[in-house]
């Protein structure tokens, strides 16, 4: 979704802003722009399009200043065009604003401004901020920023410039994340860490309703009452700096290949082999609380929701707590019964997804114990919940989630084992699972080493218009995730189903032109999966089978077999999704699609 970058220092701002916009572009955007202070006025350049096309049109001579703000916009209020792109400004162009989030009362504010004779030229809610700030500013930027916090409802992160303040950026945060990057005689403002890496040594996470006044040598922080507060700085750690492609042609492929190392680190840090215990003390759920829970709600969207499906199986199956996976945007509508015996888990890579944030907030309000299974601890959701299980996947840049999904599965399995430990339902369980978890990185590596076989299958499916993905039990979610990966990056229409649903409708779609990917690895659901595969075969459907090494039936039943090693059924979804990730990657690449930044999608969906 939208991205913010701001710079004030002694270097030229334009190259820093353009590079920042490039680094933010993984979030998805349809327009971009910059504002730079020069000779007493703000120079604003912005338009619809990609930064590669826009930046060459922005003349460094006309934008020669050392303080500026930049933005990537993903359209919500108004179509992507020049007028609606950010920075937005007031009628005199004394104020420029870039904004992530939404003003909920923008219609009322627009009407009030128009009634006062203020001309509004864009369709955006952001323009309201520029006019309100310009009218409230009397030389004191904190007072004008406080006026915005008072007048505007919703979630927003803002970077603001005023023509009367040559080297100053005003940052305001409510609901949406905003960081100040602290460098040497230069400071930055950004909506996430990526554009700060390499320039800033430390960051300040703006808290709720805080205002920062950022100049090259100073960062002053104020609360909503205008009182100055201490700005806590934290260093940028090593893993946060890691944002290159490491020689891979795409971030997605790099991130798929990172999975063994990430899984190893997560599992090794959380299992105490000597005492046969899962160590999740920092998550903050006591044995007593575990024993008192009578329901678990797992809440997420997209890939995170698919991880929730698996999480519900393992929490119910291992810890014996009735558990359900729920799409975050449907949560409130159910009017769920909530109290302290409900464990509500928000599963999210970014920790910023608005639907998930709203759902977990209602669980907080209802008195549930809340937990985030997150890749970004210092996120909006991370600050909302009682505890966080950090899945430590490292930065994920590709819009299509891969390594984060397998980390979510591992994190949820560890959580279920911890629950089982506390509730006494896990006797001997860890002894059984620990060796499988230990071997898991190598098993995933084995699958990655079989990319050539996947490439053959991709050459075949690249011309398909539609595809089906089938799985059962723990792998029902794998099927949904395989279909989501395929559709989001290759634009092939793909549907994923628990295979038992086939007879109830989807089997009508089976034909030679609709390849079916079936996950039928060894374990309790294999026989029934093979039954489904035979039904597809009987209707002349093409089959791509994910099967366990040594399965004697696989070659006879399938057009392509994607072999995976024999693993414990509880960890099988982690292994089985990998060939599906590779298949969607390779299919999208062969079809010439923009693998890392698929059309219409944003990495982080910060609107409802």
Residues catalogued as catalytic? 2, 603
The least distance separating ligand M6R from the CB of residue 256, rounded to whole angstroms, comes to 12
Based on the shown chain and the rule CB under 6 A, indicate whether residue 604 belongs to the binding site for ligand M6R: yes
Based on the shown chain and the rule CB under 6 A, indicate whether residue 126 belongs to the binding site for ligand M6R: no
Rule CB under 6 A: choose which of 18, 385, 399, 433 binds ligand M6R. 399
Question: Running DSSP on this structure, what letter comes out for residue 267?
Answer: H
Tokens of 599: 């059309």
Beta strand residue intervals within 449-557, DSSP E:
466-471, 493-498, 516-519, 543-548
Based on the shown chain and the rule CB under 6 A, indicate whether residue 587 belongs to the binding site for ligand M6R: no
Instruction: Please identify, using beta-carbon distances, which residue of 169 and 359 lies nearer to ligand M6R.
Output: 359
3-state secondary structure of 500: helix
Site for ligand M6R in 321-360 (CB under 6 A): 348-350, 353, 356
Q: Which stretch binds ligand M6R (CB under 6 A): 3-11, 79-87, 301-309, 437-445?
A: 301-309
DSSP letters spanning 558-603: -SEEEEE----TTTHHHHHHHHHHHHHHHHHHHTT--SSS-TT--S
Give the residue among 509, 507, 333, 307 at the shortest CA–CA distance from 411: 307
Q: How far apart are CA 188 and CA 214, in angstroms?
A: 8
Tokens of 137: 């500013």
Cβ neighbours around 275 below 10 Å, total: 9
Say how many residues touch ligand M6R, by CB under 6 A.
17
Q: How would you list the strands of the sheet with 187-190, edge to edge?
A: 41-48, 31-38, 67-73, 3-8, 187-190, 179-182, 202-205, 234-235
371 with 351: CB under 8 angstroms? no
Most distant CA atoms of the chain, gap in Å: 79
The least distance separating ligand M6R from the CB of residue 214, rounded to whole angstroms, comes to 27
Q: Which stretch binds ligand M6R (CB under 6 A): 64-72, 203-211, 300-308, 333-341?
A: 300-308
Instruction: Please identify, using beta-carbon distances, which residue of 276 and 361 lies nearer to ligand M6R.
Output: 361
Instruction: Please identify, using beta-carbon distances, which residue of 383 and 568 lies nearer to ligand M6R.
Output: 383
Question: Running DSSP on this structure, what letter comes out for residue 475?
Answer: G
Instruction: Give the containing element (helix H, strand E) for 410.
Output: helix 403-423
The least distance separating ligand M6R from the CB of residue 1, rounded to whole angstroms, comes to 10
Give the residue among 369, 358, 365 at the shortest CA–CA distance from 328: 358
Site for ligand M6R in 236-295 (CB under 6 A): none
Q: Which stretch binds ligand M6R (CB under 6 A): 78-86, 141-149, 297-305, 584-592?
A: 297-305
Based on the shown chain and the rule CB under 6 A, indicate whether residue 191 belongs to the binding site for ligand M6R: no
Binding mask 356-395 for ligand M6R (x = CB under 6 A): x---------------------------------------
- Residue with the closest Cβ to ligand M6R? 302
The least distance separating ligand M6R from the CB of residue 596, rounded to whole angstroms, comes to 11
Token look-up 């459907």 returns 541
Cβ neighbours around 295 below 10 Å, total: 19
The least distance separating ligand M6R from the CB of residue 247, rounded to whole angstroms, comes to 23
Instruction: Please identify, using beta-carbon distances, which residue of 90 and 258 lies nearer to ligand M6R.
Output: 258
Rule CB under 6 A: choose which of 21, 326, 593, 605 binds ligand M6R. 605
Based on the shown chain and the rule CB under 6 A, indicate whether residue 412 belongs to the binding site for ligand M6R: no
Based on the shown chain and the rule CB under 6 A, indicate whether residue 401 belongs to the binding site for ligand M6R: yes
Query: Binding residues for ligand M6R, per CB under 6 A?
Result: 301-304, 348-350, 353, 356, 399-401, 484, 488, 601, 604-605
């Amino acid at each position: 979704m939208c991205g913010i970058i701001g710079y004030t220092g002694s270097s030229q701002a334009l190259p820093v802003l353009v590079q920042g916009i490039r680094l933010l572009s993984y979030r998805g955007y349809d327009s971009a722009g910059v504002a730079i202070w020069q000779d007493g006025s703000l120079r604003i350049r912005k338009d619809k399009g990609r930064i590669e096309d826009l930046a060459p049109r922005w003349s460094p001579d006309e934008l020669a200043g050392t303080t500026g703000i930049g933005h990537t916009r993903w359209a919500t209020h108004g179509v992507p065009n020049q007028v609606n792109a950010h920075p937005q400004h007031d009628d005199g162009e004394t104020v420029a604003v870039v904004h992530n989030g939404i003003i909920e009362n923008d219609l009322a504010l627009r009407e009030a401004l128009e009634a006062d004779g203020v001309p509004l030229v864009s369709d955006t809610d952001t323009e309201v901020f520029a006019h309100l700030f310009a009218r409230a500013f009397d030389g004191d930027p904190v007072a004008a920023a406080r006026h915005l916090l008072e007048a505007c409802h919703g979630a927003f992160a803002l970077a603001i410039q005023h023509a009367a303040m040559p080297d100053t950026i005003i940052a305001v945060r409510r609901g949406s994340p905003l960081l100040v990057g602290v460098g040497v005689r230069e400071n930055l403002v950004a909506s996430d860490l990526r554009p700060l890496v390499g320039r800033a040594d430390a960051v300040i996470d703006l808290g709720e309703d805080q205002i920062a006044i950022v100049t090259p040598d100073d960062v002053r922080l104020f609360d909503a009452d205008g009182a100055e507060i201490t700005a806590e700085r934290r260093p940028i750690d090593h893993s946060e700096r890691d944002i290159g492609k490491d020689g891979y042609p795409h971030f997605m492929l790099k991130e798929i290949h990172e999975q063994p190392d990430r899984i190893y680190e997560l599992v090794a840090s959380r299992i105490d082999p000597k005492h046969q215990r899962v160590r999740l003390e920092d998550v903050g759920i006591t044995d007593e609380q575990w024993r008192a829970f009578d329901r678990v709600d797992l809440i997420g969207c997209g890939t995170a929701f698919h991880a929730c499906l698996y999480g519900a199986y393992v929490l119910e199956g291992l810890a014996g707590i009735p558990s359900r996976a729920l799409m975050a945007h449907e949560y409130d509508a159910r009017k769920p019964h909530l109290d302290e015996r409900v464990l509500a888990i928000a599963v999210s890579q970014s920790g910023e997804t608005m639907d998930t944030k709203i759902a977990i907030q209602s669980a907080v309000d209802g008195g549930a114990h809340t937990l985030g299974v997150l890749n970004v601890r210092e996120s909006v959701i991370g600050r909302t919940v009682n505890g966080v299980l950090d899945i430590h996947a490292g930065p994920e840049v590709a819009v299509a989630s891969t390594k984060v999904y397998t980390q979510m599965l591992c994190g949820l399995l560890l959580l279920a084992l911890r629950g089982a430990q506390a509730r006494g339902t896990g006797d001997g369980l860890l002894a059984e699972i620990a060796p499988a978890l230990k071997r898991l990185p190598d098993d995933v590596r084995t699958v990655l080493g079989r990319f050539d076989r996947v490439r053959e299958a991709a050459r075949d499916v690249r011309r398909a218009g539609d595809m089906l993905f089938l799985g059962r039990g723990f792998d029902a979610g794998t099927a949904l995730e395989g279909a989501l990966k395929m559709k989001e990056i290759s634009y092939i229409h793909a549907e994923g189903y628990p295979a038992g649903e086939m007879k109830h409708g989807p089997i009508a779609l089976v034909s030679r032109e609709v390849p079916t990917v079936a996950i039928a690895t060894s374990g309790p659901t294999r026989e029934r999966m093979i039954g489904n595969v035979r039904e597809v075969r009987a209707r002349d459907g093409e089959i791509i089978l994910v099967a366990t090494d040594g399965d004697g039936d696989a070659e006879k039943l399938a057009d392509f077999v994607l072999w995976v090693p024999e693993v414990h059924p509880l960890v099988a979804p982690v292994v089985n999704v990998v060939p599906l990730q590779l298949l969607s990657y390779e299919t999208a690449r062969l079809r010439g699609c923009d693998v890392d930044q698929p059309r219409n999608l944003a990495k982080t969906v910060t609107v409802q």
